[in-house]
Amino acid sequence: METIYEKITADNKKNDEIIAKAVDIIKNGGLVAFPTETVYGLGGNALNSESSKKIYQAKGRPSDNPLIVHIGNIGQIDGIAEEFPEKAKALADKFWPGPLTMVLKKKPCVPLETTGGLGTVAVRMPAHKTAKMLLSSGLYIAAPSANTSGKPSPTKGSYVYEDLNGRIDMIIEDDTVNIGVESTIIDMTREVPTLLRPGHISREDIEKVIGHIDVDETIAGIENYKKVDENTKPLAPGMMYRHYAPDASLALVDSENKGGKSVVEHITKLALEDISNNRKTVILTTDENTDIYKKLMSEANVSDESILFTKCTDFFKTLSDISNNILIYVVSLGNRGELSSIEQNLFMGLRLCNDIGAESIYSETFDTDNQGLAVMNRLIKAAGDKIIKV
């Protein structure tokens, strides 16, 4: 199938045409990838079981992994959910439109294909202007992240293209995806609302509005981290799968003092071993530690030609200029003191490891308060359990 690729620009008339075309495609059972404020979504008509089947097919996603239904206004809740509890209303008041997904009891009109066979439906009202334009059509749009299942979620149109070109009807690009990890998911059907997936809206943010919530044990941070097996089945089915993974193996190097001296020294040691075996290596770090790696690498006599220090956000500007001689890339994901910068760049960082053909990847870890829980949750999944304690 030929995939139409359109870009949102300052030309509003053209934008309206793009949106009208996208709405038409979705109404007719087709699939359109579009930006939201978290990551790009792959949208289909949530009330059409055939559309949902197509989404699973295009992504190569297991069909027991339910889809999030996106809405454009609060009045639409009534069309798909049996109940909208008071606490859910309070959260909607505070955080919608925004990166929060609430699991509610579903109405029969929502096909089981959309909910992965569950009697509940996950609902979100996104804040991104392009998503809002699309949703002003009144459609219910099922939209998982627009990546091939298992890969890092796409934060750029070009990544969607890389994964889904030829498999879907249309891609709408708009550069302003700015949160970078998927929405926070909270189950509002349980007696005590339960956090199923951490995201930009943190547990702390939610508890300020509705008081204590539970946290699904399978998403706990690294201190309480339990390997997910049959005995600890996550409440959000998608959290079971290895996810977000770059092609090369990623190991997390953790210590009580996150990103502290012992971590930097250990990562340097491992990276030096790798390059002595001619393996291309990426170190994922933060602005605070970049100079320390510089010093250690220079003490180890790593030549300037074989190492590149870069910020994740600058990396793409220089990708085409990068020499093939580089063996170690020290990439800053952002600022440890400002966790939302890490959150925003994390998937980009994981994708760039693929772009440069990395053979080993090491990342520091983060404290799990506020957005740190979302960052660590994604990193642990991407690492597929490879955690080195120092």
Interface segment toward ligand AMP; rule CB under 6 A; list 229-237, 344-352, 354-362, 382-390: 229-237
Q: Is 271 in the site for ligand AMP (CB under 6 A)?
A: no
Place of tokens 């002595």: 276
Q: How far apart are the first and last CA of the chain?
A: 50
Q: State the nearest-atom distance from the C-beta of 4 to ligand AMP, in Å.
A: 22
Scanning the structure block, which residue is given the tokens 């690498």?
297
CA–CA dist 102, 124 (Å, integer) = 7
Q: Which of 287, 281, 306 is nearest to 357 (CA)?
A: 281
Which residue in 74, 90, 118, 251 binds ligand AMP (CB under 6 A)?
Answer: 118
Q: Min. distance of Cβ 146 from Mg ion in angstroms?
A: 9
Q: Which of 145, 285, 340, 341 binds ligand AMP (CB under 6 A)?
A: 145
Residue whose tokens read 């699939």: 31
C-alpha to C-alpha distance for 78 and 93, rounded to whole angstroms? 16
The residue from 144, 199, 334, 372 that contacts ligand AMP (CB under 6 A) is 144
Residue 14, phi-psi category: left (phi > 0), alpha (psi -120 to 50), beta (remainder): alpha
CA dist 99 and 96 (Å) reads: 8
Decide whether 153 or 285 has the Cβ nearer to ligand AMP. Answer: 153
Ranges assigned E (strand) in the chain: 4-7, 32-35, 40-45, 68-70, 100-105, 120-124, 141-142, 170-173, 184-187, 194-197, 214-215, 249-254, 281-285, 307-311, 328-332, 360-364, 387-389
Q: How far is the CB of 148 from Mg ion (least distance, A)?
A: 10
Q: Among Mg ion, ligand AMP, none, what binds residue 104 when CB lies within 5 to 8 Å by partner kind?
A: none
Which of 180, 238, 246, 372 binds ligand AMP (CB under 6 A)? It is 238
Q: At closest approach, how far in Å is the CB of 72 from Mg ion?
A: 21
Closer by beta carbon to Mg ion, 82 or else 247: 247
Q: Report the partner that residue 196 touches, choosing among Mg ion, ligand AMP, none (CB closer than 5 to 8 A by kind).
A: ligand AMP
Measured from the CB atom, the residue of 264 and 374 that comes closer to ligand AMP is 374
Q: Which residues bind Mg ion (CB under 5 A)?
A: 145
Residue 121 makes contact with ligand AMP by CB under 6 A: yes
- Should residue 281 be labelled a site residue for ligand AMP when binding is judged by CB under 6 A? no
Locus of tokens 């970049």: 290
Q: Which stretch binds ligand AMP (CB under 6 A): 235-243, 286-294, 358-366, 381-389?
A: 235-243
**Shortest distance, CB of residue 319 to Mg ion, whole angstroms?**
25
Residues 6+ positions from 340 with CB-CB distance below 8 Å: 179, 200, 371
- When CB distances to ligand AMP are compared, the closest residue is 238
Stretch that binds ligand AMP, among 45-53, 71-79, 127-135, 231-239 (CB under 6 A): 231-239
Show the binding pattern over residues 176-215: x = contacts ligand AMP (CB under 6 A), - = does not.
Answer: ------x--x----------x-------------------
Rounded distance between C-alpha atoms, residue 78 and residue 107, angstroms: 9
Give just the sign of the alpha carbon dihedral 348, 102, 120, 47. Answer: negative
344 is a site residue for ligand AMP (CB under 6 A)? no
Q: Which position among 65, 137, 290, 370 is part of the footprint of ligand AMP (CB under 6 A)?
A: 65
CA-wise closest residue to 376 among 189, 198, 177: 198
